[in-house]
Structure 1
Amino acid sequence: MSNYPFRPGSPKSFVAYPSGEFDLESGTFRKPRKHRSSSSHPIKMIRSIGNRIQYYCKLHPLLVFVISLSVGVSILILLSLYERGYQMTNNYQNYDVSSSSYPLPNLQNLVMVAGHSVYTSSSCGKVDKEDSWFLESYPKNPGQAATFVAHIQEGIGVAAKDNRALLLFSGGETRREAGPRSEAQSYWAVAESKGWFGQEDLRSRTLTEEHARDSFENLLFSVCRFRELTGTYPQNITVVSYDFKEQRFVHLHRAAIGFPESRFFYVGTPAISTAKVAAQKGEAIVRAQFQEDPYGCRGSLYRKKLGRDPFHRSIPYPNGCPEIEGLFRYCGSAPYPGSLPWPKELN
């Protein structure tokens, strides 16, 4: 048997050397000193840096202000550039995803019929009657509705002769009293009711552009719509409207978008005889306004455009035609200086 009274596992164990420091004077053991935590070092470092910054601010306040201002401006510039780049990339990515295939990729030429009114009748049997269309409050001239139908028929006739042509009726929801109906849809519905004037095969390549609020947007928006539907830009453009608007389209709007004159064509139909003089006077005023403001982005032309958007429709362009985004953003009296996806011609 072992003579040791304490063994491992016994209720009490003997500690031969207690932990701590032995005090010779008192004959007792002291508790060991606890080392200060090193977690306070970063706090001291931060306080030290803060004190130094405060010292330099007091010593050179103007220099510190200039440096701070420069850093702040640089950060703002970088953030704005990043945001702009992100938005453009996001727009293009969304466009690429939605346009992996085009409805009419084989078409090369554009025939655009500019809308002038909204068809409001519940029946398509009276398309040549003035009461079937929304007209201004001034006296309605007999035969005016027939000119709208003539534009539709003329556009169909031109497009039917070219099996590579896309026919677009262009015009937005321009009149509050007419309700949320577009000029473009009105023209398409009339063409449908007339059996496409014997050219029913044209129905599959006739669509609408439903956001234009003036003649310049009729042209520009239709070019973008052509890009959405075909994946390319038109080789040739033919515009159908009143004959007294030819100078406006051919020499002003065409030049504003920089489209070659040799590939731009115009088909004009006459206004009714009783309104021809008044129409020509009004056209002279509008043409002078577009000469000063070719892109319709200032003054009376801009206000008129806003008035023709009673339902505040969001315009999707230029998402469908990113190559001419700059043309949509441009506002100036000189021709657009940026690059375009068609060759420019000197006017």
Structure 2
Amino acid sequence: MVAGHSVYTSSNCGKVDKEDSWFLESYQKHPGQASSFVTHIQEGVEIVAKDNEALLLFSGGETRKDAGPRSEAQSYWTVAESEGWFGKEESVRRRAMTEEHARDSFENLLFSVCRFRELTGSYPRNITVVSYDFKEERFKQLHRSAIGFPESRFFYSGTPGSSTSKEAALRGEAMVRSQFQEDPFGCLGSLRRKKLGRDPFHRTIPYPNGCPEIKGLFQYCDPAPYPGALPWG
């Protein structure tokens, strides 16, 4: 799963590594930011190309009002397409799909698991997440633990962010991580408000349709671990 971070807005796919080709929030407007998105996309393609049984999911909803009703997931798929799947089109393109509703990192993971079940009829045996290196603890410890996925089958591929924004990114990550520590399912307070703000087009989330076995996980909202049975437990 490649977690989306922005929406591609350029009509010219020859500019995928240029900041003005993406809709960037103020904290993202740094040299090298666009290239970091492309690196994530390529990393996802490279990982899936090595495993003929793997599925590549680009995850991220229509999160930016001023970018229009374009999803982060479709943006990443479009960039991969424009780049010829980085030389791996024959082996990867047919196995590259989108999850177009996630509004934060926890939903990137949970919704992608459901989308995988919807597409294949089963749940993933292994999960590999591609995102920034400084988000590894958030995904591997907090989000993975919240959905009860076995640590031995969960992998993370982190890439560096823009060097000019590293200190600010680390400060922001520390704050978000502490919020998820208190609210693992992102369903209360500031995390809930953030998600609502990232749904400017008021999309109806289809899940848990497609993954009925984990309906309880979608409905759960408590600081304590989810007490129900899970398909991968």
TM-score (norm 2): 0.99
Of the candidates 151, 160, 180, which is equivalent to residue 290 of structure 1? 180
Q: Structure 1 vs Structure 2: percent identity of aligned residues?
A: 80
The aligned runs of 1:30-49 (5 Å cut-off) are none
For the pair 1:124 / 2:13, whether they are aligned, the reply is: yes
Of the candidates 165, 173, 176, which is equivalent to residue 62 of structure 2? 173
For the pair 1:158 / 2:33, whether they are aligned, the reply is: no
Distance in structure 1 (CA, Å) of the matches to 2:130 and 2:165: 19
For the pair 1:280 / 2:181, whether they are aligned, the reply is: no
Secondary structure of 1:165 counterpart: coil
User: Unaligned 5+ residue runs, structure 2?
Assistant: none
Cα deviation code 1:80-108 (max 9, x no counterpart): xxxxxxxxxxxxxxxxxxxxxxxxxxxxx
Which residue identity does 2:218 align to in structure 1? Answer: F
* Residue 323 of structure 1: aligned partner: 213
Secondary structure of 1:177 counterpart: helix
**Which 4+ stretches in 1 moved above 4 angstroms?**
none
Distance in structure 2 (CA, Å) of the matches to 1:278 and 1:222: 28
* Residue 125 of structure 2: aligned partner: 235
* Residue 112 of structure 2: aligned partner: 222
* Residue 210 of structure 1: aligned partner: 100
Which residue identity does 2:75 align to in structure 1? Answer: S
Which residue identity does 2:160 align to in structure 1? Answer: P
Q: Which has the larger radius of gyration?
A: 1
Which residue identity does 1:141 align to in structure 2? Answer: H
Secondary structure of 2:40 counterpart: helix
* Residue 186 of structure 1: aligned partner: 75
Of the candidates 101, 109, 114, which is equivalent to residue 3 of structure 2? 114
Distance in structure 1 (CA, Å) of the matches to 2:222 and 2:140: 19
* Residue 338 of structure 1: aligned partner: 228
User: Unaligned 5+ residue runs, structure 1?
Assistant: 1-111
Distance in structure 1 (CA, Å) of the matches to 2:38 and 2:229: 38
Distance in structure 2 (CA, Å) of the matches to 1:138 and 1:237: 29
Distance in structure 2 (CA, Å) of the matches to 1:287 and 1:116: 17
Shift of 1:139: 7.2
Distance in structure 2 (CA, Å) of the matches to 1:292 and 1:167: 31
Shift of 1:177: 0.2
Shift of 1:123: 1.1
RMSD: 0.7
Shift of 1:138: 5.0
Q: How many aligned residue pairs are there?
A: 232
CA gap of 1:244–1:138, structure 2 versus 1, over 3 A, is: closer
TM-score (norm 1): 0.66
Shift of 1:273: 1.1
The aligned runs of 1:55-134 (5 Å cut-off) are 112-134=1-23
